[in-house]
Structure 1
Amino acid sequence: MKFHTLCPNCAIETPNNVTLGSIIFNDSGVYEFQCNNNHVSNIILQEEQFQVLFEIGIDSLATEHPIEAIVAFAASLERYYEYSIKVMTSEKCIDLAESKASWQAMGKFSERRLGAFIFTFLLTLNCTPKTLRNKLIELRNEIVHNGKIPTAQEALEYGQGVLEVIVHNYKISTERLNNAISKLRFENFEVSKEKTNKDAYCTLHSSIGSAITRVMESKDNVKPTLNEFVESAKEKINRYSKLAVPFKQTDKKIK
């Protein structure tokens, strides 16, 4: 799955002849790319990993891949749990390395991670977080463990459920733990800067305008649905497939 950008060097040197390029999402959030004129630049995405994974789920639905969509949405939710625990432990002045170690100690067990998230949320914010409906949890398990092939509608319902869970809980966190969120964002940015190519033309701190952020910023009575984002993604994929060319990328490994 991809996002799109312009070469900042070309935009200055030849503003009337700038090529739109496509960049494949990676696991680090740091992108080193080279345009067709051999200009090298860096991009650091502002979005957290759970937001990027949700966008991948949207694109998977837009290209009619419901299994891939559900897997991406499920991964987005688990990464949101991990991110939230980092924020909440930071609020409690717990070292980030200790938070990561505790998360890893739970192993790859979704139930343990969900339980850790629920009680950390309760102890930090004095309220119980919204969680995914059992019907949707069972759907995900049927796909992952029993090989069920979901319909596009089932994938859409699953993604909508994940969107509502993340937005509801994330909104509470941003309203009450803004300092901890800002601190974690700054720390992540500093780590990302160390991964960039220092010889590049420039480093852009860019946003893809994630669906999660757009729903959070919308008014309660006019919140866009996942289906609207999917339809928008279809139009964007169709439009950009004719305009964008793949930019060369250098993979950045997570530290």
Structure 2
Amino acid sequence: MDFPTACPACHREVRVEFTDSAVHDLSCSQCGSRFCVFVRKHKFEVLFDLGTRALMDGYAREAVASFAASLERFFEFYVRAYALERQAGTEGGFGAALKAWEGTWRHVSSQSERQMGMMALAYLLREGREPDFLTPKALGVDFRNRVIHRGYLPRREEVDAYAARVFALIDRLLVELGEGAVHAELAQEQAFAAHLAALPEGVTAVFEEHPGMFRARRFGGTLGGKRALPGKTAPPLNDAQAFARALTERGPLLATFRKSGER
């Protein structure tokens, strides 16, 4: 998946492929300027948006793979945020906590079952209750495995239901995480700062925030800027309604963002 950006020197539009680190070292083919684009977006967000784009374009099976990967990477995001939140005030500060986290995650980075165990324990310790969402039924494990591992070709309505399940779970956990997410944000900013400090002289740094299915929820509080009136509670949405509303309000932004650089 790529995204459009602009050369800071000549303003020519450049298409850039997302990297795993969210750091993109570039040079303009027109004027030769060198610049580095830092995208303030986490991997689970990029993957969910990739799934949304695939769904909108009619690639149902590819969408399932991206949604499933998004959920796994969100669990990593949650555990990181909790670990840093818990340790940031200890001796050595945030830097020591981040180093300890990175060393610990290395032990489970290629083992999804152990990562799930870390998620279960992190949720129990932080929220004080059982992670009821980690059952195979709640996660849609059978559907995911049929599509990814057994080559099942899903119908659009099945993918919509799976996407709604994943969206609702991530959204719920982001709400519960609350300000704790700031610690994971800070970890990304520190990685950016280290890369920025190592940039050669003459390279321009560009920081960007992109539209996405979760960005409005995290930074604006609600979708579409709509808030309940004082003393009134908005009617609850089920998984399908919540995803459909997000797709209606955020989907066009993703489509516009994608098409802006198409030739």
TM-score interval, smaller chain: 0.7 to 0.9
Residues 27-72 of structure 1 deviation map (CA, whole Å, 9 limit, x = unaligned): 1110122232222211111111111111221222233222221111
| Equivalent residue number for residue 66 of structure 1 | 60
Report if the CA contact (8 A) 1:46-1:207 is conserved. yes
Give 1:204-223 correspondences, 5 Å limit. Answer: 204-216=206-218, 217-218=221-222, 219=226, 221=234
* Larger CA deviation: 186-195 vs 33-42: 186-195
| Equivalent residue number for residue 134 of structure 1 | 137
Q: Deviation at 1:129?
A: 4.8
The match for 2:85 among 87, 91, 106 is 91
Verify: 1:21 aligned to 2:14, yes or no.
yes
Secondary structure, aligned partner of 1:4: strand
What is the CA–CA distance in structure 2 between the aligned matches of 1:153 and 1:227, rounded to whole Å? 16
Report if the CA contact (8 A) 1:130-1:168 is conserved. no
Q: Deviation at 1:200?
A: 4.5
Report if the CA contact (8 A) 1:156-1:226 is conserved. no
AA of the residue aligned to 2:55: L
Q: What is the identity percentage for the equivalent residue pairs of Structure 1 and Structure 2? A: 22
Report if the CA contact (8 A) 2:6-2:14 is conserved. yes
What is the CA–CA distance in structure 2 between the aligned matches of 1:153 and 1:194, rounded to whole Å? 48
What is the CA–CA distance in structure 2 between the aligned matches of 1:102 and 1:112, rounded to whole Å? 12
Residues 166-190 of structure 1 deviation map (CA, whole Å, 9 limit, x = unaligned): 1111122123x26634542432332
The match for 2:45 among 51, 76, 90 is 51
Report if the CA contact (8 A) 1:53-1:73 is conserved. yes
Q: Deviation at 1:131?
A: 2.7
Report if the CA contact (8 A) 1:57-1:68 is conserved. yes
Check 1:155–1:139 CA distance in 2 against 1; reply closer, same or farther (3 A cut). same
Q: Deviation at 1:150?
A: 1.8
Check 1:153–1:191 CA distance in 2 against 1; reply closer, same or farther (3 A cut). farther
* Larger CA deviation: 148-157 vs 79-88: 148-157
Q: Deviation at 1:88?
A: 1.0
| Equivalent residue number for residue 114 of structure 1 | 116
What is the CA–CA distance in structure 2 between the aligned matches of 1:205 and 1:237, rounded to whole Å? 18
Check 1:25–1:169 CA distance in 2 against 1; reply closer, same or farther (3 A cut). same
Check 1:42–1:160 CA distance in 2 against 1; reply closer, same or farther (3 A cut). same
| TM-score, normalised with respect to structure 1 | 0.78
What is the CA–CA distance in structure 2 between the aligned matches of 1:74 and 1:192, rounded to whole Å? 30
Stretches of structure 2 that go unaligned for 5 or more consecutive residues are 88-95, 228-233
Stretches of structure 1 that go unaligned for 5 or more consecutive residues are 11-17, 243-255
RMSD between superposed Cα atoms in Å = 2.8
